[in-house]
Structure 1
């Protein structure tokens, strides 16, 4: 029993199979036993719902904020065979196309004009236009989770999929992502210019982990890549062009199943969430806050230290409350479709208002929205960075990307006892952090899944 978790509601939890944000986190979709629904992410608002009879869906994936959705059948009574991807036009309220494969579809990702479908050992890519046209196929290692990720910003090209060997990542460059059509009057916004071509040949394979991958994540630009493995303790950030390791972040020390990683749109932070029920926020070292480190990290140039004490820990976190206050006496196997208490998905939103204006327009103000599979909607703000941090010359020489506290002097005791006590204090230091601020909590849907 985890006594640190508290209940936020005593009502029966909402029944949700899956929740997905669009690439810009402006909307999200949910699949329920009754069908699926589409919501505005913030302010939270039900846009529409579709009641479907004859079966259930395992996922509803939006193509940005267009009327096109990709549906996957799932659950104990799938609406569609598990080897099909159905293209749904929500403006028409009906299916307009489908893709059929020889085996079960494991995962899908999309961006303007493109769809990638992951099978157990293969990824197929299609052009989405008036018709669906197969573009290419790539072999992978055993990939039961259907891992893949696509960069979605205008002119981006990157598709990341599992490699042919365990723990490897393949980087594939598709034709550039199209620029979205402006919604305002003609000439109201300047057209986006493509970036200059790189002088370096991009890498094709990254040896990311020794164990099986559990998540692949890209920011909209595709300049970075985040990977996690089955141990669930480390998040590695890679330069997608050079293949070099940029940062290694530590979620914790005990094994966990990481559900997802999301980059902030400006690529200054990222968040990580797992089956521990905690959302962790890390700085990528570009601006603002610094990640927590052990008190011993400044000693690295002077003495060998275990790798653990070099780790960077989240500078902010939020523990998602357990929503069900009752104790169920029924066996877990009696309801195979019951939502998991800890399951959630998290995305970044821009909450800047007209008051947040500068000479160059509105200043982005990023917050987090966490959606639980029991119907909780949490809007979280990031705690402000500390105004001052004392840094010694030895600390600043190690790295400008690392935050560390000045180590205390050695006590006049034996070396072994002092080192042991300091190690314990160093471990306690990593557990101290700031909590994200809950700005708003709401429920989306009722017990049947609708708002």
Structure 2
């Protein structure tokens, strides 16, 4: 969730670190770091408004950008900040506002409205820069693993095409024509294998195989247009990859990419059958995914991630294993919610709200649904 949130909401930005173990929020007063498992406040600094705060795994390094409320917090200045010493390590200044920042253990990516910069994170030496189409909302995706480290950005101002750039080898990888309408949200899987895309219509979510630049899955989120606020893949495990989407409808949608080979005989009746079984070229039936209804009010911007996917039970040759999914949601209204989604071996889903945290008061309130 970028710094495009309205100042009428207490949360200006929110992001999880690369392994989802922590998350950080920026407010009009400063920023706070929380433990994702417990909701415990780990660090707090009140020095003004921030529109971007990104954390490097569980280290003390943050990349922060001010919201422009005062000269020292210019939206054109990126500060690499050490939470242990409480001091800035480096500052990078740009001619225009920074709209997105991404990082891993070797690369720092800075996205402006019409340009992208790639840095070596250790020396903060610039490695490459390239022009982009106008991107005032900072729409981008980043896969932090070093083996499949890609940056994805809009490639057109008139249609939903995506530029995928290899951040480690420093060259464009491919361009994907994903939608007829312009893009609203992007997400790369942690291992860089898949990229998920949503257009401004928000009715269809597509998943593409990055290596071949081909569409692999299509999911129908709903019939009526909706603004997709976030897309996020869960950790890549032996189980099928899972994708979640938050939108202006106020609900969270969860899709499984599955395995077309193992699901060939289960395509019409299961949650994990919410994939294309025999072909990857057509949209699927909209009824085969899980919807967590009314997790937030309609129109309330939120950022949802899948933090954990755990196998439940032992699958047979004819059955798929059940799983338990932990979904975390941060809303601009200042609340962190954790949901558990259980899918039985018979592919019957059940979900409930496990806890809710007021991020401004940092009080944990347990709730059930």
TM-score range for the pair, normalised by the shorter chain length: 0.7 to 0.9
Q: Which residue of 2 aligns with 1:204?
A: 174
**Whole-Å separation in 2 of the counterparts to 1:123 and 1:238:** 23
Query: 1:69-99 CA deviation, whole Å, 9 max, x = no partner?
Result: 1111116557511111111111110111111
Hey, what does 1:62 align to over in structure 2? 55
Q: Report Cα offsets for 1:274-323 as digits up to 9, x if no partner.
A: 11111000111237832569xxx99x99xxxxx87x43445212134558
Question: Larger relative CO (CA 8 A, sep 6+): 1 or 2?
Answer: 1
1:219-258 to 2 correspondence within 5 Å? 219-258=189-228
Partner of 2:291: 317
TM-score in terms of structure 2 length:
0.80
What TM-score do you get using the length of structure 1 for normalisation? 0.66
Matched, 1:344 2:326: no
Name the larger-Rg structure.
1
* 1:109 aligned onto 2:67: no
Higher strand share: 2
Structure 1 residues 117, 313: CA separation in 2 closer, same or farther (over 3 Å shift)? farther
> Of 261, 264, 272, which residue of structure 2 is paired with 1:290?
272
Secondary structure at the counterpart of residue 106 of structure 1: strand
- Matching residue of 2:19: 24
Higher helix share: 1
Is the 2:52–2:64 Cα contact (8 Å) retained in structure 1? yes
Instruction: Single out whichever of 38-47 and 208-217 deviates more from structure 2.
Output: 208-217
| CA distance in structure 1 between the aligned counterparts of 2:157 and 2:333, rounded to whole angstroms | 36
Classify 1:95/1:124 alpha carbon distance in 2 versus 1 (closer, same or farther; 3 Å).
same
Q: CA deviation at 1:376?
A: 2.1
SS in 2 for 1:141: coil
Among 262, 265, 281, the alignment partner of 2:254 is 281
Q: Which runs of 5+ in 2 are unaligned?
A: 1-7, 264-269, 315-321, 365-369
Deviation for aligned residue 1:365 = 4.9
Worse overlay, 68-77 or 84-93: 68-77
Q: Equivalent residue for 2:367? A: none
**Cα distance, 1:322–1:368 mapped onto 2, change above 3 Å:** closer
- Partner of 2:3 in structure 1? none
Structure 1's 149 and 51: CA in aligned 2 closer, same or farther, altered over 3 A? same
Question: Which segments of 5 or more consecutive residues in structure 1 lack a partner in the other structure?
Answer: 1-12, 177-201, 302-306, 324-339, 358-362, 389-432
Residues 251 and 296, structure 2, Cα contact 8 Å, conserved in 1: no
Task: Say how many residue pairs are matched.
Answer: 335
Query: Structure 2 residue aligned with 1:87, among 80, 86, 106?
Result: 80
Contact 1:15–1:373, Cα closer than 8 Å, also in 2:
yes
- Native 8 Å contact 1:275 1:342 kept in 2: yes
1:439 and 2:354 correspond: yes
RMSD of aligned Cα (Å):
3.5
Identify the match of residue 28 of structure 2 among 33, 36, 52. Answer: 33
User: Residues of 2 paired with 1:281 and 1:351: CA distance?
Assistant: 12
Seen in structure 2, the aligned counterparts of structure 1 residues 316 and 164 have a Cα distance that, compared at 3 Å, is: closer
In structure 1, how many angstroms separate the alpha carbons of the residues matched to 2:100 and 2:176? 21
Local SS of the residue matching 2:292: strand
The residue aligned with 1:134 is: 126
Distance in structure 2 (CA, Å) of the matches to 1:283 and 1:435: 15
Contact 2:184–2:228, Cα closer than 8 Å, also in 1: yes
**Which residue number in structure 2 is paired with residue 270 of structure 1?**
243
Residues 341 and 373 of structure 1 are in contact (CA less than 8 Å); yes or no, is this contact kept in structure 2? no
SS at match of 1:436: strand
Cα distance change, pair 209–356 in 1 and its aligned pair in 2 (3 A): closer
